Amino acid sequence: MNAVTLVRAENVHKSFGLNEVLKGINLQVRRGEVVCLLGASGSGKSTFLRCINHLETLSNGRIWVGDQVIGYRQDGDRLYELSDKEAAGQRKSIGMVFQRFNLFPHMTVLENIIEGPVLVKKEKPAEAKRRASEMLARVGLEGREKSYPRQLSGGQQQRVAIARALAMEPELILFDEPTSALDPELVGEVLDVMKDLARSGLTMIVVTHEIGFAKEVADRVAFMHDGEIVEIGSPREVLETPRHERTKAFLSRVF
Ligand code: ADP
Ligand code: MG
């Protein structure tokens, strides 16, 4: 793969039993690019994100991140699934932020953030703690190391989840509706952090219904319908002059 492209999904198919939910997704994401993924509920957005870090196997097709085929080892024409340990190794460089934060409730903010660096990347605890504090400051939560998730608002918990992802120094972060579970007044603080990350040059794929965010921050917007990307282009193209009927219908519902 060339130096410019970080993610390349080629003909990605995914079925659950007889239900084919991804029907041949093709997508390339450049380093430093922010791609927002829009689409109605059930169109396959989460499944596609989960395929990118091999939380799901593929039924067909292939995904590269950097020069690695995700989840599989290629031997001639055949693909062999990696072991859990090998897949976890690949996931080190791919962060994921979920709708429901997924922080460990019995651990402090600091413990949540250093867990990955210490256990997976074998960082020294002192160094991991130092960097965790840096990441907390980066998401606007300086000094909250000793708090427990339940002592924080949803917006703050989501920012901790972002700090936790950043602590692994990923080259790519996948966001799956990171603000959908938040009270409306807390959405802005999380989007502000994400805008900041986008400006810093991080490569991001963001599933979101926040059209304003997509308009302002995305380099490209992709619209998914029924397991396919039916339209992709600049925010202006896709959001202001959509060509596909499904995109038009979706946007008219959202606005
Ligand atoms: P979106 O994120 O766009 O709302 P999803 O990727 O969550 O869509 O789901 C796409 C389709 O795949 C849905 O019909 C959903 O029911 C189905 N699906 C998702 N995960 C599973 C699973 N683990 N087992 C069976 N069906 C699933
Ligand atoms: Mg989803």
Q: What distance in Å separates the CA atoms of residue 247 and residue 254, rounded to the nearest whole number? A: 11
Residue nearest to atom 22 of ligand 1 (CA): 16
37 closest CA partner among 47, 188, 4, 11 = 47
**Dist. CA 90–CA 109, nearest whole Å:** 25
Whether 94 contacts 53, CB under 8 Å: yes
Write out pLDDT tens, residues 56-96.
999 999 999 999 999 999 888 888 999 999 999 999 999 99
Q: Which segments of 66-219 are extended strands (E)?
A: 68-69, 72-75, 78-81, 94-97, 172-176, 203-207
Q: Which atom of ligand 1 is nearest to the CA of 224?
A: 3
Q: How far is the CA of 21 from the centre of ligand 1 (A)?
A: 7
**Confidence tier at 1 by pLDDT (50, 70, 90):** low
User: Does the C-beta of 47 come closer than 6 Å to ligand 1?
Assistant: yes
What is the pTM for the complete model shown? 0.96
- pLDDT given at position 75: 87
For 110-159, the pLDDT digits (tens) are: 999 999 999 999 999 999 999 999 999 999 999 999 999 999 999 999 99
- In angstroms, the CA 58 to CA 108 distance is 36
Task: Please work out whether the CB of residue 43 comes within 6 Å of at least one atom of ligand 1.
Answer: yes
Cα 85 → chain centroid: 21
- Span from the CA of 61 to the centroid of ligand 2 (angstroms): 21
